[in-house]
Chains A and B, each alone.
Chain A
Amino acid sequence: MFLEVLGITVLWIFLLGYVIVASIDFGAGFFNAYSLVTNKNHILSGIIKRYLSPVWEITNVFFVFFFVGIVGFFPQTAYYYGTVLLVPASIALILLTLRGSYYAFESYSGVTGHKGYALMYGLAGLFIPASLSVVLTISEGGFVQLTEVGPQLDYNALFTSPLTWAIVVLSITAVLYISAVFLTWYAHYAGDNKAGMLMRKYALVTSLPLIVSAIGIIVEMRRTGNWHYANMVDLSWLFIVSGILFLATTALLWLKDKYGFAVLLMILQFATAFFAYGISHYPYLLYPYLTVHDSFTTTSMAIAIVIAFIAGLCLLIPSMYLVLKLFIFNKSYASGDEETHV
């Protein structure tokens, strides 16, 4: 019991980490493309590039970590989700592959790319969260049938469900909002006020559809009398806390004050909502077939993974600190005064 909850909590934290860092990455690609269209590229591209270059690979590892971890702790997820997600996850993988390699091709080769590629890159970044977020709809139940050959995904039901589209819209707006808030701070931190003000505008613009789609999901779940909804009501105070944090973040942006604090509040806002969502989903991984308990791996393997995990963190936390200190929280790097690329 304790190990299952520990396992899913650890994975959920890593998924949150991926959602935040990947959103910054995906959103940055989109804003870069958008600024190309609106001829504001000269303002944004430098700051985006300086943030992304040293960390894009690390972002990718968060994702790998999550899907390896979930198969490790909950091997049955491989059977259910592996089978039903073949197509959506493959689409996401293809986009991730093209996006990741294109980024490296452009940023390391020193060749400035083609406008068309940059647009493709920006759009691909929005399709990835959209294609991955269908997992959230599927996990609510009702979209997977167990047949004689194995579990099968009912695409028709999935694509005609309003919940699917509400989650897709939420994932895209969340990506843009998280990225805009972060880059607003990062640009100001680097002393680039022009880029900072532009990103602040984008952050404020995207905050509205974000909150509308979040409320839309709750309304939709209530309408269908979803099992999950009742659990969410019990945890409504956490969602309210998240909403307050959201209002505080936008207020700081509006007042052009304390951008670093705004980023912190934004992360807390998503963390609260993310955990409230996760806790209310407990104990189901895939309703009604898969719970955290019956899909859990053997105790000896769980203990081994937890030990490996702790040992790994002892290596990773100091190294991550080093990265932050050298690049993200380093004024002369962020402002581009120093050019020390290989």
Chain B
Amino acid sequence: MDQSAVFWSRALTELTLSFHILFATLGVGVPLMILIAQYVGYKKNDAHYTLMARRWARGFTITVAVGVVTGTVIGLQLSLLWPQFMELAGQIIALPLFMETFAFFFEAIFLGIYLYTWDRFQNPKHHMLLLIPVAIGASMSAVFITIVNAFMNAPRGFDLVGGELINIQPILAMFTPAMPTKIGHVLTSSYMTVAFILAAIAAYRLLRGEDHVYHKKALSLMMKLGIIFSLATALVGDFSAKYLAEYQPEKLAAAEWHFETEAGADLIFFGVLDGEEVKYEIRIPKVLSFLASNDFNAEVTGLNEFSEDEQPPLITHYFFDVMVSIGVLMIFVSFAFVFGKWRNWQWIHSRPFRWFIVLSGPLSLVAIEAGWWLAELGRQPWILYGIMRTADGATTATGVEWLFIAFAIVYFILAIGSIVVLRRMFKHNPVEKELAMREGGGV
């Protein structure tokens, strides 16, 4: 096995996915927010919310385009970089993969219609209804593709006899034990991230001196949704840890630097590793046991129970810390804002706090990346948990390193392009101008 091809296949897959998930997360969450804004605008007969939907949809066209093209790339790269894996797994995960393209097709059709039929329907409700298939399609494609990932973590629905897969049960392969928590966490964290990104934009406009009620409404709406989705994310995250403790204990043990099996295990936050010695950490007694099984004195399997060639890398601990800390911070930020607004606290309108909200958008994206790196590195060395090692799935072709460079350049261009275009779209077209134009009878 050519180790360099394995290394570069992993590197290129990681590069593509890390770039894609930024846009994919937006792609899952933004349609829901557009739908909510348009619904609120329709119910309250408030043009500000309708304009919100319109401006978000306009920005969404750019991010969805990058999401579509990078999604196409990863879809094909699965077969190009991991041909042996796809040959084996293709027999079982074909159904969810296929359904994902249907969901995506459905979304693409209705998004196209929605974008090009503003003011075209007599009844604005009909136009709003187009968003329902868009939002459903967006979330369902996340559901199906997450099912594929869940299968890789907990393969089932077949029997392995002498290297051959027999008795394949397509439906059972979709409903793996990893599926419910994975899907729940992906959906809630996407909605949460988008809520904070849109809130961050509103807060930024307010900081830049645009004292328009439109931005205040957007901020307030997104913060309320932020609480709901960040709490939901944390709750599903807790279920995920319990899932790991039962089905993939080495992933949890590596993420927590939990080496010896023990009862009443401590939760370790941050710290550095010196051999098996953890230093400078924040240690919360017995919480890992609680996280793993709702019982402060439960026994948690340690990493030393696993042979060395089946242990995930220990760096996942930092990803776990980053993800969890940001998640907790987000709950506090949104809660402080909404509670403060209710109690009429003035400091939530202060500049430092608004800057904090601005920061929460990018931080949520960082948490998304950290979470995926934790999940994916955490199942190393397996590409199909317990069945196929990552090194056995990679391509045997040479020259993957050149493709890595080429794709890295492409993603760099896309990143710069989307930032420039999004800035241009909104810079010369502030909310005031657009509102005045629409009230003045313009289109």
On A, residues with C-beta under 8 Å from B are 53-55, 57-58, 60-61, 63-65, 67-69, 71-73, 75-76, 78-87, 89-90, 93-94, 96-98, 100-105, 108-111, 149-152, 297-298, 300-301, 304-305, 308-309, 312, 315-316, 319-320, 322-323, 326-327, 333, 338-342
Contact with B66, one of A94, A101, A300 (Cβ below 8 angstroms): A101
Indicate if the CB atoms of B80 and A86 lie closer than 8 Å: yes
Closest to B166 in A: A298
Indicate if the CB atoms of B113 and A323 lie closer than 8 Å: yes
Closest to A153 in B: B397
**Interface residue B413 (Cβ < 8 Å from any Cβ of A):** yes
Contact with A along B98-130 (1 / 0, CB 8 A): 111110111011111111111110000000000
Secondary structure at the A interface, as helix, strand, loop or mixed, is: helix
Q: How far does the Cβ of B174 sit from chain A's closest Cβ, in whole Å?
A: 9
Closest to A91 in B: B406
Indicate if the CB atoms of B69 and A342 lie closer than 8 Å: no
Contact with A along B62-93 (1 / 0, CB 8 A): 10111011111101110111111011101110
- Tell whether A71 pairs with B65 under 8 Å between CB atoms, given A97-B73, A301-B170: no
- Alpha-carbon distance between A293 and B95 when the two chains are bound, in angstroms: 20
- Tell whether A304 pairs with B112 under 8 Å between CB atoms, given A97-B73, A111-B421: no
Indicate if the CB atoms of A57 and B111 lie closer than 8 Å: yes
**Interface residue B325 (Cβ < 8 Å from any Cβ of A):** no
Residues of A within 8 A of B90 (CB): 71-72, 75, 78, 297
Closest to B417 in A: A105
Give the interface centre of A101, A312, A341 by most chain B CB atoms within 10 Å: A101
Range, interface on chain B: 35 or more
Indicate if the CB atoms of B115 and A341 lie closer than 8 Å: yes
On B, residues with C-beta under 8 Å from A are 2, 54, 57-58, 61-62, 64-66, 68-73, 75-77, 79-84, 86-88, 90-92, 94-95, 97-102, 104-106, 108-120, 133, 165, 168-171, 395-397, 399-400, 403, 406-407, 410, 413-414, 417-418, 421, 424-425, 443
Residues of A within 8 A of B83 (CB): 78-80, 82-83, 150
Indicate if the CB atoms of A87 and B403 lie closer than 8 Å: yes
Contact with A297, one of B91, B120, B403 (Cβ below 8 angstroms): B91
Residues of A within 8 A of B69 (CB): 60, 96-97, 100-101
Indicate if the CB atoms of B61 and A108 lie closer than 8 Å: yes
Indicate if the CB atoms of A57 and B68 lie closer than 8 Å: yes
Closest to A79 in B: B87
Residues of A within 8 A of B113 (CB): 54, 322-323, 326
- Tell whether A304 pairs with B97 under 8 Å between CB atoms, given A61-B108, A79-B84, A341-B115: no
Residues of B within 8 A of A319 (CB): 106, 109-110, 133
Contact with B94, one of A61, A75, A108, A333 (Cβ below 8 angstroms): A75
Q: How far does the Cβ of B96 sit from chain A's closest Cβ, in whole Å?
A: 9
- Tell whether A94 pairs with B407 under 8 Å between CB atoms, given A100-B69, A101-B417, A298-B168: yes
Residues of A within 8 A of B118 (CB): 340-342
- Tell whether A72 pairs with B98 under 8 Å between CB atoms, given A78-B87, A149-B396: yes
Q: How far does the Cβ of B293 sit from chain A's closest Cβ, in whole Å?
A: 35
Give the interface centre of A85, A96, A298 by most chain B CB atoms within 10 Å: A298
Q: How far does the Cβ of B144 sit from chain A's closest Cβ, in whole Å?
A: 10
Indicate if the CB atoms of A340 and B105 lie closer than 8 Å: no
Indicate if the CB atoms of B399 and A86 lie closer than 8 Å: yes
Residues of A within 8 A of B424 (CB): 109, 111
- Alpha-carbon distance between A69 and B410 when the two chains are bound, in angstroms: 27
Indicate if the CB atoms of A82 and B86 lie closer than 8 Å: yes
The 5 closest A-B pairs by CB, nearest first: A104-B65, A72-B94, A75-B90, A82-B83, A150-B396
Indicate if the CB atoms of B65 and A308 lie closer than 8 Å: no
- Alpha-carbon distance between A152 and B5 when the two chains are bound, in angstroms: 14
- Alpha-carbon distance between A98 and B100 when the two chains are bound, in angstroms: 23
